[in-house]
Amino acid sequence: MLNFLKGFLLILMIGGLTGFSLPQIGIEPDSVAVASASTNIRTIVLDAGHGGKDPGCSGPSGVREKNIALKIVLALGKKIKEEYPNIKVYYTRQTDVFVNLHERSAIANRNRANLFISVHCNSHPSKKFKGTETYTMGLHKTGENLDVAKRENSVILQERDYKKTYNGFDPNSPLAHIMMANYQSAFMNNSLKFAQKIERQFKRYSDRTSYGVKQAGFLVLWETAMPSVLVEVGFLTNPNEEDYLSSSDGQDEVAKSIFRAFKSYKEEIEN
């Protein structure tokens, strides 16, 4: 299957996508199905970060990331289906269960998704930090980006046989994350385009503080064979943002912002 992917990506490079190299790190042969080359968006996979035994980060009042991410993802999926009933929407989880990172991306690949959206909440030692940021796969521009990727990727330590599944990948290794960055190069342009639209909507529609679009080596993005983004919807460690993200109005506003970005992205790439 790795040889198949190399051949497919070589075709993409000949068509104008350059600078791509594929790291030799484990992708299960039956887990990858490359999405259609069509620009029409027919299938989306929505990923609520963390879940089950992995709570993610928590706020001062004990609000857990896994619960906020799930509520936002379900609200987003509902909005997409209401406006675009012909689009297939799949979820990596719809309840409070643990799903490993490899399986999350495999769900997107098996269903030949045209877009993958992963929703998370952010954290910081200082309670003053607030706002949003959206990530695509790429080389780490700052040490802070790398720290975020390491934190999100460290969930694999809770998986059984994670060394075998990820071929010895070390979530604390900067070199491992840099190697991963090249895998998503073929889909980088559209990933960046969509990420920019998300952050623009957070600023315009919700008047949120935006830290912009960043690139980092998230495992859940690395193994997806389609444009993919990871959205940090706010800092749970900020008391005001914790209140906002745990409210139904705040969750609906976040979902609407991402949906508006999706609508704009869909219209642009299909036209």
Q: What is the CATH number of the domain that holds 221?
A: 3.40.630.40
- Would you say residue 8 has pLDDT above 60? no
| Rounded Cα–Cα distance for residues 78 and 30 (Å) | 29
pLDDT value at position 209?
97
Taking residues 102-111, report their average pLDDT: 90
Q: Who has greater pLDDT, 145 or 135?
A: 135
Q: Is 93 part of any domain?
A: yes
- Amino acid present at 128: K
pLDDT value at position 144?
52
| Phi and psi, residue 62, nearest 5° | 90, 5
Q: Is 23 part of any domain?
A: no
For the chain, give the mean pLDDT.
Answer: 80
When pLDDT is cut at 50, 70 and 90, the band that residue 173 belongs to is low
**What secondary structure letter does DSSP report for 88?**
E
| Rounded Cα–Cα distance for residues 240 and 218 (Å) | 27
Q: Is 67 part of any domain?
A: yes
When pLDDT is cut at 50, 70 and 90, the band that residue 219 belongs to is confident
Q: Is 114 part of any domain?
A: yes
Q: Is 25 part of any domain?
A: no
Residues 35, 38, 42, 47: is their CA dihedral positive or negative?
A: positive
Query: What is the strand order of the sheet 132-136 is part of?
Result: 88-91, 43-48, 115-122, 228-235, 132-136, 210-215
The helix/strand/coil state of 15 is coil
Taking residues 14-28, report their average pLDDT: 32
Q: Is 1 part of any domain?
A: no
Strands 115-122 and 43-48: parallel
- Would you say residue 57 has pLDDT above 50? yes
Q: Which residues pair with 231 in a beta bridge?
A: 119, 134
Check if the beta carbon of residue 100 is closer than 8 Å to that of residue 111: no
Structural domain boundaries, residue 55: 42-270
- Would you say residue 30 has pLDDT above 50? no
pLDDT value at position 150?
60
Q: Is 231 part of any domain?
A: yes
Which residues, at least 6 apart from 174, have a Cβ–Cβ distance to it below 8 Å? 140, 146
pLDDT value at position 20?
30
| Rounded Cα–Cα distance for residues 50 and 60 (Å) | 19
Q: Among 4-8, 33-37, 139-143, which stretch is predicted with the lowest mean pLDDT? A: 4-8
Domain count, the chain: 1
Taking residues 97-110, report their average pLDDT: 91
Q: Is 17 part of any domain?
A: no
**What secondary structure letter does DSSP report for 155?**
G
Kindly state the percentage of the chain with pLDDT values over 90.
58
Q: Whole-prediction pTM value? A: 0.74
Q: Among 11-15, 62-66, 119-123, 125-129, which stretch is predicted with the lowest mean pLDDT? A: 11-15
